[in-house]
Amino acid sequence: MTTTLYTSDHEWLAIEGDVATVGITDYAQQQLGDVVFVELPKVGRTMKKAEAAAVVESVKAASDVYAPVTGEVLETNAELAAEPALVNSDAQGKAWFFKIKIADKSELGGLMDEAAYKAHTA
């Protein structure tokens, strides 16, 4: 059973057990435009909630992707690093950035469900 939640900074988290797969939303990629580079965190790094975790760069500008929860990076998406344009073609699918082991599930309480996120970006 996968639950998808969203941050106000336009990250999505697909949660299975205590692992969250993290990416940026389709809304975010539309705002960014053509993505030409992503920088992913190192596997094994422990990140605090709201810490800069990854970088996504369009032709024009660089933007941070923040850790939506505290935890350890378990895996990063090598396919995305090799083909950053996946962010534009499949932001909420193939273009996941990293998987993180959730340290404290109570942090999920502050996140939005899909309906709330839709309202946030409306």
Partner 1 sequence: MPARDDQDSLKRTPLHGLHVSLGGKMVPFAGYDMPVQYPAGVLKEHLHTRASAGLFDVSHMGQLALRPKSGKVEDAARALEQLVPQDIVAIAPGRQRYAQFTNADGGILDDLMVANFGDHLFLVVNAACKAEDEAHLRANLSDDCIIESLGNRALIALQGPKAEAVLAKLCAEAPSMTFMDAGPRKVAGIDCFVSRSGYTGEDGFEISVPAGDAERLAKTLLENTDVLPIGLGARDSLRLEAGLCLYGHDIDTATTPVEAALEWSVQKSRRSGGARAGGFPGAEKILAHFNNGASRRRVGLRAEGRAPVREGALLFADEPAAEPIGQVTSGGFGPSLNAPVAMGYVPLALAALGTKLFAEVRGQRLPLAVAAMPFVKNTYKR
Residues 50-89 touching partner 1, rule: CB under 8 A, are 55, 57-62
Contact 11, 65 (CB under 8 A): yes
Beta bridge partners of 58: 35
Task: Specify the stretch interacting with partner 1 by CB under 8 A; choose among 6-14, 32-40, 68-76, 105-113.
Answer: 32-40
Taking CB under 8 A as the criterion, the residue among 8, 18, 37, 93 binding partner 1 is 37
Identity of the amino acid at 51: E
Helices (H) then strands (E): counts for the chain: 4, 9
Taking CB under 8 A as the criterion, the residue among 19, 36, 50, 112 binding partner 1 is 36
Smallest separation (angstroms) from partner 1 to the CB of 24: 16
Identity of the amino acid at 15: I
Smallest separation (angstroms) from partner 1 to the CB of 55: 7
Closest CA to 5 of 117, 120, 122: 117
Taking CB under 8 A as the criterion, the residue among 8, 16, 17, 34 binding partner 1 is 34
Residue 91: exposure state from Cβ atoms within 10 A (0-12, 13-18, ≥19):
buried
| Interaction site with partner 1 (CB under 8 A) | 33-34, 36-37, 39, 55, 57-62
